[in-house]
Amino acid sequence: MEESLYEYWERFKRLCAIFPHHQISKQLLLQYFYEGLNIMDKSMIDAVNEGALGDMTPASTRGLIEKMASNSQQFNMRSDAIVLRGVHNVGASNALEHKKLESKIDALTTLVSHLASNQKSAAPTKLCGICTSTNHPTDRCPSLQESTGPDNNRIMICPLTYITLVGGIIPT
């Protein structure tokens, strides 16, 4: 719950009294106070001083806020709305809408259950990270297999490219 202008002003004054040697000018302190106000309190202060808080002296600004804070305490300008809590009955006029909502929820529940069961039955497809084939996993990719040719040259076998290495050098 938000504090009232009076509570906020009193807290601000207590903090200023507790920390008197803060080296912040009075005008800047009042500006900080103003920036921390809620929208309604800012609007009231702007309306009273025609939106020019910076044009007022710190003493007149303090006096204005002091008056407004004491008024907010005296008249409690906050709108404290009463919230009724509890269980509310659904009347007969809403029975049709209630049935429609129930049927929609049932349909969504069935759909989600169906999707979940289909996901469990479908096994994830493994894909080779080298040649993107689905026939083997990455660690068994043919491109990783080396074999030796008839003249002791190493041959790298890959389904996508065939390269013959002669003494470890790729021929051009």
Q: What is the pLDDT of residues 3-43, one digit of tens each?
A: 888 999 999 999 989 988 778 888 899 999 999 988 888 88
Q: Which residues pair with 164 in a beta bridge?
A: 155
Tally of helices (H runs) and strands (E runs) in the chain: 5, 3
Lowest average pLDDT, out of 19-23, 68-72, 110-114, 158-162, goes to 158-162
Residue 126 has, within 13 A of its CA and on its CB side, a CA count of 8
User: Which structure tokens are listed for 121?
Assistant: 């039955």
Cβ-contact 146, 133 below 8 angstroms: no
- Separation CA 136–CA 133 (nearest Å): 7
In this structure, how many other beta carbons lie within 10 angstroms of the beta carbon of residue 26? 13
Quick check: pTM over 0.85? no
Would you place residue 159 in the very low, low, confident or very high pLDDT band (cuts 50, 70, 90)?
very low
Domain extents in the chain: 5-75, 126-172
Lowest average pLDDT, out of 54-58, 122-126, 131-135, 154-158, goes to 154-158
Residue 135 CA to its chain's centroid (Å)? 42
Q: What is the structure's pLDDT at 143?
A: 80
Cβ-contact 126, 139 below 8 angstroms: no
- Separation CA 43–CA 29 (nearest Å): 19
For residue 130, is pLDDT > 50? yes
**Rounded alpha-carbon distances, angstroms, from residue 90 to 30, 51, 81, 82, 87:** 52, 49, 24, 22, 10
Q: Is 96 exposed, middle or buried (0-12, 13-18, 19+ CB in 10 A)?
A: exposed
Q: What is the structure's pLDDT at 9?
A: 93
